């Protein structure tokens, strides 16, 4: 899937590459060759949301597997 370039308005930027881009690592449009990136606040928000999902999932999995042990009295 590709994103629209802000410069040429053509779908020339890989969506995943754009999500991981930053000011230090912009992604190049395959149509016009100009560089583009996601704003720093959006970029870090995506990363933080991903970390939050992984952390909450790990805690939920631990609680899910611990509940039967607590009910039996083995913990």
Taking CA atoms, 45 is separated from 19, 22, 71, in Å, by 10, 12, 39
* Strands in 1-75 per DSSP E: 2-3, 13-14, 27-28, 35-36
- Reported as a pLDDT band with limits 50, 70 and 90, residue 54 is very high
pTM above 0.85, yes or no: no
Q: Nearest-CA neighbor of 14 among 30, 34, 32, 25?
A: 30
Confidence (pLDDT) at 6: 82
Through-space distance between the first and last CA atoms of the chain, rounded to whole angstroms: 48
Report the distance separating Cα 68 and Cα 75, nearest Å.
10
């Amino acid at each position: 899937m590709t994103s629209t370039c802000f410069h040429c308005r053509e779908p020339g930027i890989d969506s995943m590459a754009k999500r991981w881009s930053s000011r230090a690592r912009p992604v190049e449009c395959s149509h016009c060759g100009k560089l583009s990136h996601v704003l720093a606040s959006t970029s870090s928000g995506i990363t933080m949301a991903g970390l939050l999902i992984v952390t909450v999932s790990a805690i939920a999995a631990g609680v899910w597997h611990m509940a039967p042990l607590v009910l039996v009295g083995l913990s």
